[in-house]
Structure 1
């Protein structure tokens, strides 16, 4: 098979498209003929040699990527034969191997792809959609809500805008540049604002009049995140799940001390992985959120935005993602 392999940590050009041996499924596993592989910001950190939230860096050489969708074409010993030939999507967990024509994973991780979803959108929902469902556990949205979504043209932001609109909320979407702002508007935001324009908070305040924001979904941090928090009214909620303004491998999330929160009359919460999974409950909270995300897409309530790159163009996909030149979920297509 062909795959993307990383032989040394470093720049995107270290991602090499080459021929390698086909992976062999072990007991209880399946091999998937990959139709789409997800690219995550965490992949760029790992490529640079920063393990981020993971316990360790992968051993080199490695095939990056932990989200795949395609068709089951081979079974390991003891695997339920009903999976053979099924269209499936899976998050590989801590095991890499997604940027390839073939990928192996445990059958227990598989979800059958709903009939009305293509592989790329299924990949978007198994990772990005799962995260969106996790974040949304921490707030109840309704007609009285005013939601501010920084990075509203991104994979998670696109879904948060749609979910909030479905709940009847007023949605302010922030994005960088005219093309992204237009995409946010087309996605249904009541107001789409370019946060590269210095007076963007004034535009939001003029639009809202006497109303104030009730929730900020902050994956950006930095100055855009702080300016978004300034839009919150008393009792407002600041949900933090990233800090892309400094890059995943630099800086950190935007935080406020208890004294600062009290002075502003807001609540600021970090809703990263462990907290998110703790709220989901169940014996397998990851699967709970994955199932919920796929169900939302299958029902047509959420439609992920996807930007496709060829598998051989993985380096270009990484550069685009790091340069904030992408919209929606980035997906590699073999």
Structure 2
């Protein structure tokens, strides 16, 4: 017979500063059985397994359990038939021990019908409400996302205030704009390239017209952690189809020409890789200090967590042309990227704009 069903708050004020579990007490003849159910994402501390000794001690100190009792550790699954049960014996020879038993054995031990354990704790309004009350009494904004520093929030707002809209880009693409018109729009808001390629999202530095070898690359994104990702982006117009309309279905000559230029510059980079690494890290450091070198645009986090002594990851992207047959172009892009060294990723404006999250 069940006699209590509560949410137990088990911090001990020292090692444990938070933690919640569901505690149900059963009397079966002369036996007292205590069911300790982990509350999953409603548990704001250690799992029942890791805190079981402190949980049992706190139940005894508070008088929730008086005298000898058998303790069952319980984890719920979506299907009640998949629940796990372990008899926990504390301070036994060799320390705390767990003995796995079946659902049927657990119910027999507690002296309750099988349907007693059918309701999931997360479906019990009373249990959820009490767990939330205890969690929020410790931290009023427990479930709120990390807000970041004031400086990060300020920079995010500045970036959002200067964003060009997805509709503006789509309008130029639909009108079949040339390379210069697209570049002019995109240079107004370099965060658009961070949105499509930066990882982590808020950690990036973007440049335009970045010097490279005997020329420059249209746009560059620096991002990543530890090893810096250097993403080189070349853009062409939206005034041609990505693939030719003949039966060969080759890339338009403008794509071949731009890819050839990129590969030539990549060859120069890889022949002098340490020099290029030093060059991009130097540009990063200057941008982080506030220098507007190459139209530097720094993300919300004003410094990248990268190591200038580690190798860099170099990626190249070529954006140009319009999509007519997405399936055929996808196969062509895949082959192109995997049959050239170093590889160049090719995107049409139609596929690229799908990456944008902004409205």
Q: State the TM-score bracket (shorter-chain normalisation).
A: under 0.3
Look at both structures and tell me which one has the larger radius of gyration over its CA atoms: 2
Whose helix fraction is larger, Structure 1's or Structure 2's? Answer: 2
TM-score, normalising length: structure 2: 0.19
